[in-house]
Amino acid sequence: MSGLSTAWLVTGARGQLGHDLLEVLARRPDDDVTALGRAELDLTNEAAVRKTVRHWLDEVRADRAVLLNAAAYTAVDDAETDEATAQLVNGAAPGWLAQEMAGAGRLVHVSTDYVFDGTATEPYPVDAPTAPRSAYGRTKAAGERAVAAAGGDATTVRTAWVYGHHGGNFVATMMRLEADRPTVSVVTDQVGSPTWSLDLAAGLVALGARAESAPPVLHLTNTGAASWWDLARAVFEERGADPERVLPTSTDAFPRPAPRPAYSVLDTTAWTAAGLPAPRPWRAALAEALRSW
């Protein structure tokens, strides 16, 4: 498929990752890109989802079609009391998308570290057993199963701790608090791999564009591990502020409706073993992200 034109459909196109997917795809001027946000595609409506994908496939004039599913119900705490809606968006809709794409093109579906229980002490490999502890995690795990059951050329890509220039996220919050408060307290007992959404987007497009099919499940994050406290201190340092203003605390000090995984580091070796571009260290990505913020 090398050198062939590609038609892309991006769902969740108005979100944090969706914005960056469109930025990366803009570097492919010979390709055709269709961007759908929540206003254009209601993922709780099965008939609308199927009709939209079928219509798009009927209109494709490129050599191949790739659907990048960046849409999700990501309000982790709200999902605890609205699991039915989260299940439609995160659990059922990915299956509908996968069924419509099976035999017609490639699906790249984005999932999360929340499908794991967070009790590991070393990075989760792609074949680690899932054991979600939250409604959000349960619905995302259901979406993974639905994609797998549909068959076809589909890959679920789990990621974690995503931040970017668009939308609310931890890094944006720390930048605001650094400017507004003398100190900020951040938890030290949750560990993961901070991931710049633009790096994630570039990897997902590389996966979508490659000639060969990929394994059914992959992990993609920036590499290395950090606590939220480590990440906050890094944000302060990159902004020329005193990192000692970031005070350590524990998860118990910030009770939330949904449990957070204590350990969210994902093993990305299967990603590079598949011949995809190696992700860079999280601190290098953060430095570039903040320079361009």
Active site (annotated) includes residue 136: yes
φ and ψ of 274, to 5 deg: -80, 0
Say how many C-beta atoms besides its own lie within 10 A of residue 151's C-beta. 13
> By three-state DSSP, how is residue 159 classified?
strand
Q: Radius of gyration of the chain from Cα atoms?
A: 19
> By three-state DSSP, how is residue 262 classified?
coil
The one-letter code for the residue type at 187 is V
Q: Which residues share a beta bridge with 111? A: 158
> By three-state DSSP, how is residue 163 classified?
strand
> By three-state DSSP, how is residue 281 classified?
strand
C-alpha to C-alpha distance for 293 and 287, rounded to whole angstroms: 10
C-alpha to C-alpha distance for 267 and 125, rounded to whole angstroms: 5
Indicate which residue of 73, 124, 136, 163 is catalytic. Answer: 136
Which residues belong to the active site? 136
